[in-house]
A and B are shown apart, each in its own frame.
Chain A
Amino acid sequence: MAKLFAQIRFIAGALALAFIVAVVTPVSAQQPSSVNPTASAVKEQQLLKELSKIQGRGTIPDVKSYVLEHPVGRDWRQWHEVTLRWIGGIAVLGMIALLVIFYLWRGMVKIEGGRSGRKIVRFTAFERFVHWMTASCFVILALSGLNITFGKPLLLPLLGPEAFTTWSELAKYAHNFLGFPFTIGVVLVFLIWLTGNIPNKVDMEWFKEGGGMVPHKHPPAGHFNGGQKLIYWIVVLGGGTSAVTGYLLLFPFYGTGISGMQVAEVVHATVGMLFIAAMLSHIYIGTIGMEGAVEAMGEGTVDINWAKQHHNLWLKDEMARIGPNESQRQPMATPAE
């Protein structure tokens, strides 16, 4: 009996299998003999045409590694190796050339009628501290920044690879750390001199008169003249932009991804180059360009005749405030040391 049941089970099973095969075969026969699995597959060039980068999914925790391809780095390379060098070279060398020509033509702007010997306080100790903190940071930031752009073609052949790396690494650390005091300096500059740097009608006149650079003209000016206000806003806006873009680069992937960092570097470098050019003119007029100017940021006082010539409105206000006799003394003559 058991044998019979087993045979029936076997026959029933065979019939069921035959039925399934009979039903399924025509279905599979309708499908094409060769399948093309790439028909619906992603295509590299198509993805790159649609978006500037190809991004997918990965299995490692590093999310930024899920970007497969990002060819725009090639454009950034063109910018960094060619365009930026032209911008920087023209801005910095062009400004130096302009200043040399200007100096040869105009020479040092003398104090008319010579020094009076009477001095007046122009900048307080705190103002001078803020100025020099920002300025010294700026000089190091500028040199270390220029090194990243121009060091390879200019310094590397002179120093050799090892010495150039030592210097560049030092310069990089200086650049990264001095960005912080520089930012504090820019913020303080913005705050302490804001009231004196709001543009007004006097500045329009000042610019129309060419800033008094045409000899024997004295356009009126307050505490800060039009040119100084221009420098102030270059420092505040240029410094602010440099700081923001600098921090984006200093803390990768906190603020932006790679594309954002490329843009940040373009802005940072462009602003930096123009900033350096602007500061060269600032340094020129504060030193060899004008007699009696450097002491304003040095000991903090200026000669009355200098003030009369360059900042007549400010001198008038100061005289009215402190009285003419007060200015004859030298308030900063004996600094507390």
Chain B
Amino acid sequence: MARMKFLCDADRCIECNACVTACKNENEVPWGINRRRVVTLNDGTPGERSISMACMHCTDAPCAAVCPVNCFYTTADAVVLHSKDLCIGCGYCFYACPFGAPQYPKVGNFGSRGKMDKCTFCAGGPEADGSTEEFEKYGSNRLAEGKLPLCAEMCSTKSLLAGDGDVIAQIYKERVSKRGYGSGAWGWQTAYRESIAT
């Protein structure tokens, strides 16, 4: 089985936000929730870089570790998913997540945050693959259809890569050796405790 990962090639990202839009449309993400977002660092200076960020589907995920009701599970593809039926909306995963991935439909108001929502790597949830219930709660299950997450598939500059970690790392390495530079795989050290030697 593959070990699914995201990799954003910051030297290619042009901050077009197509990944954000693709994600919202494909998964019919509720208003106010962004499973994916683009962050621009050093905006307007020569060192400026944009990185598209969502749930990184961490190895030994901190969200899953701190969840007081154990609503998280990891699929055979190493995608970190959760059950909205078990989630109590306590917000602990949000405190623990290094990438700000967990989102809540309601912010504040006596702690009634609602069920947590986050990137599913377009892999749905615990319900039957491709079912209506699964789509309503978690969005599309493209992985079950043999497709990769739409954010990466839609990326106009092929900056955002999604797929088996070894494969996308190899693609990135080849790019870096060909063009002669690369600012590294953002978030990999934090999420997977490894980085890509370039």
Contacts and interface: CB of A to CB of B under 8 A. Distances in A.
Contact of A42 (B42, B70, B187): B42
Contact of A81 (B51, B53, B66): B66
A56 B41 contact: yes
Contacts, number: 171
A242 interface: no
Given A70-B100, A71-B98, A38 B183 contact: yes
A165 interface: yes
A337 interface: no
Contacts of A64: 100
Interface string B21-56: 000000000001010011111110011110101000
Interface in B70-108: 70-71, 85-92, 94-100, 107-108
A36 B181 contact: yes
B186 interface: yes
A37 B49 CA distance: 11
Contacts of B165: none
A76 B98 CA distance: 10
Contacts of B183: 38, 41-44
A164 B69 contact: yes
A80 B97 CA distance: 13
Contacts of B88: 165, 168-169, 172
Interface string A234-258: 0000000000000001111110001
A294 B110 CA distance: 35
Given A37-B11, A38-B183, A168-B88, A76 B95 contact: yes
Interface in A160-180: 161-162, 164-165, 168-169, 172-173, 176-177
Which 9 pairs show the lowest CB-CB distances between chains A and B? A176-B111, A56-B41, A56-B39, A38-B181, A68-B39, A169-B88, A73-B96, A40-B47, A77-B62
Interface of B: 10-11, 15, 17, 20, 32, 34, 37-43, 46-49, 51, 53, 62, 65-71, 85-92, 94-100, 107-113, 180-184, 186-187, 189-190
13 contacts: A39-B181, A41-B47, A44-B186, A57-B43, A58-B39, A68-B51, A70-B98, A77-B65, A80-B92, A151-B69, A172-B111, A252-B113, A258-B95
